[in-house]
Chain A
Amino acid sequence: MAKVESRKRGGLSQDKLRGLYREMLLIRRFEEKVEERFRAGELSGFLHVAIGQEAVAVGVCQSMADGDVFASTHRAHAHALARGMHPNALMAELYGKTEGCSHGYGGSMHLYDVEIGFLGANAVVGGGLPAITGAALAFKFRKEPRVAVAFFGDGATNIGTFHESLNLAQLWGVPAVYVCENNHYAESTPASQQLPIKDLAKRAVAYGMHSITVDGQDVEEVLRAAGRALEYARSGKGPVFLLCETYRLVGHYVGDPQVYRAKEEVKELRETQDPLDRVRAKLDLADEDFEAIEREVDELVEASVEFAKAGTDPKPEDALKNIYA
């Protein structure tokens, strides 16, 4: 496992940390509920949960400002929730209901919410990166102090859109932040079989791009690093590559038997790399305070399932709408 230097500096207030923890826990419990409901046969399609990667989502999304936009990947629930999407709208989408964030047209891999600047999850690896470069170009054209953020995984750094997008963004100095969630697996394929270099930041540096590497399991560190990255981009200095070293504590998709890695590896990761454990250790809270957060989050997640199940099915012929503006 990659060792990442974690610089100790002035810590966050307990209140702020508590808020971050609550967001991360909401994602964790939401994702666990998704796994449970999928296994119960209630959810269709492909589902990819972000268990283990909550600190990246929360740290980056909490650093963004109103008016900033972002694009995500097939593993997008965490980004949506962390940026403020209500669990009801997300769960309803997974159930294919009109109350869903994409009104049932998208599903888990195609979440959108323009109100929060969410320009789309993307089921094509690297598919969303060029448009983030373009959104940032629009902000630069209009001299708006906004930043466009792309989330993607280590696997995406092998695809052409990544290279063309970073090259163009640096060339034009657009306000974009490229957030690489390096969870060390491209679906089932480990880094050793898909990446000839260990330090992915070198790929951004090759384009002359400012790069920041951070321990993606430490929400405080991510928050601080993302804040710096966004500030850099917003101030007109150009794009930033934000490399978050993180770990997927579950399979690639819900139901993935993970034949490609040893059970011990997953067990060890869960014991040593759980971002929730990290933040819990920093929190000076009584047991009943932790329990209160758990209760509040559980209720919210449970309510989202009830909301989704009570939602409205689209009419089949609604499939013929929204093809053209």
Chain B
Amino acid sequence: MPELTYREAVRDALSRAMREDDDVFIMGEDIAEMGGSMAVTQGMLAEFGPERVRNTPISEMAIVGAGIGAAMQGMRPVVEIMYEDFTTLAMEQIVNQAAKHRYMSGGQVKVPLTIRTQGGAGWSPGAQHAQQVEAWFVHVPGLKVVFASTPADVRGLLWSSIYDDNTVVFFEHRILYPIKEEVSEKLEPIPLGQARVHREGEDVTVVATGRLVHETLKAADEAEKEGVSVEVVDPRTLLPLDEETIVASVKKTNRCVVAHEAVVRMGFGAEVAAIVQHQAFDWLDAPVERVGSKFTPIPFAPVMEQYVVPHASDVLDAIRATVGRNGG
């Protein structure tokens, strides 16, 4: 089985789709000669040429909007928004246009567009290059939202996103690009809306996304030493959400922690907590604990940045809090 980095896995999904299908093309800022600000599309210009690996002006509205128009004609564009902070510039096109065309037309049109973007803290880019904004998009009917945390997942989910007939906002995490995982020779698409259980456990379920999946796996190792068995569930697709897997897990463990890098308040975890308390109320032995960033913009100074965003230790504290509630 070959091993790919998260970065290579994204590139592999894009390249395979473009080899097989003339309707797939990519566009975005600095994605051609430069290979993207995160080097994800490196080498793709040489293979596919400048028509299909399209450098764009710094025009987020037009990049997304042109993707919408090409998608409505039956192409399957993948557009890159360099940092998720910059999705703000394209918000009108994503929320009012891409998400609503099908609905407003009474089902006449489809917008099979994939919007790749990345972000996250951990390298001190400051407040406008490190925020996690996935919660904004899961609030919008008509969009699908993916946040993959491993190379195998990012490859299989990106493929499914490209071939989904709806607009998918596809989040990658900057810190995850170098991580490696074995992947199958053949690209196995991963259906949207299907969670992955990374580790089975008996005492606490942690529902984690993005970088926090890896922090949670570290925390679970620590908890194990304390005699606490942790089940780690990564929803992978945030919209639609695999509620069934999450709820079944909580019914087994009777405790739940939600963990993401975005700020806690009104974060994706709030929705998970609401679902869990509603669907597994009688099974819960402790309140659902939430882990995420403190309610600030992301600061520059590395010590402040690291203070603001959550780490394995924060997840471990939350696990302990749920277990401590009824005496372990």
Please list the residues of chain A having a beta carbon within 8 angstroms of any beta carbon in chain B.
69, 100, 102-106, 110, 112-114, 119-120, 122, 124, 127-139, 141, 148, 160-161, 164-165, 167-168, 171, 321-325
The distance in angstroms between the C-alpha atoms of A129 and B105, with both chains bound, is: 17
Does B73 lie within 8 Å of A130, measured CB to CB?
Answer: no
Q: A141-B25, A324-B102, A325-B102 are in contact. Are A167 and B59 (CB under 8 A)?
A: yes
Q: List 14 extra interface pairs beyond A134-B68, A141-B70, CB under 8 A.
A: A69-B73, A102-B108, A106-B104, A110-B104, A110-B105, A120-B104, A128-B97, A132-B69, A134-B70, A161-B92, A161-B93, A167-B57, A324-B165, A325-B110
Q: How far is the CA of A65 from the CA of B10 in the complex (A)?
A: 40
Contact A161 B62 (CB under 8 A): yes
Give A112 Cβ to nearest chain B Cβ, in Å: 4
Contact A112/B166 with A160-B61, A165-B65 known, Cβ cut-off 8 Å? no
- The complex places the Cα of A113 from the Cα of B105 at a distance, in Å, of 8
With known contacts A120-B101, A322-B107, A134–B96 Cβ distance under 8 A: no
14 contacts between A and B (CB under 8 A): A102-B105, A105-B105, A110-B105, A114-B105, A122-B97, A127-B97, A131-B68, A133-B62, A133-B65, A134-B72, A137-B70, A141-B22, A161-B93, A325-B166
Contact of A113 among B65, B73, B74, B108 (CB under 8 A): B108
A91 to chain B, nearest CB (A): 16
Task: Number of B interface residues at 8 Å Cβ cutoff, please give it.
Answer: 41
When distances are taken between beta carbons in the complex, the residues of chain B under 8 Å from A134 are 65-73, 77
Q: Which residues of B contact A124 (CB under 8 A)?
A: 92, 96-97
B residues neighboring A (CB under 8 Å): 22, 25, 51, 56-57, 59, 61-62, 64-75, 77, 92-93, 96-97, 101-110, 112, 141-142, 144, 165-166
- Identity of the chain B residue whose Cβ is nearest the Cβ of A114 in the assembled complex: B108
B104 to chain A, nearest CB (A): 4
Q: A106 touches which one: B93, B105, B112, B165 (CB < 8 A)?
A: B105
Among B22, B59, B69, B166, contact of A131 (Cβ-Cβ < 8 Å): B69
Report the nearest A residue to B97, measured CB to CB.
A127
Report yes or no: A321 in contact with B107, Cβ–Cβ below 8 A: yes
C-alpha gap A118/B246 in the complex (Å): 43
Of A103, A110, A113, which contacts B107 at CB under 8 A? A103
Inter-chain CA distance A104–B103, complex, in Å, is 10
User: In the complex the two chains form, what is the Cα distance from A114 to B65 in whole Å?
Assistant: 18
- A130 to B93, Cβ gap below 8 A? yes
Rounded to whole angstroms, the CA-CA distance of A175 and B74 in the bound complex is 17
Q: A124-B96, A133-B62, A138-B74 are in contact. Are A103 and B106 (CB under 8 A)?
A: yes
What is the minimal beta-carbon distance from A166 to any residue of chain B, in angstroms? 9
Closest residue of chain B to A167 (Cβ to Cβ) is: B57
The residue on B at minimum CB distance from A69 is B73
- B68 and chain A: residue at smallest CB distance: A131
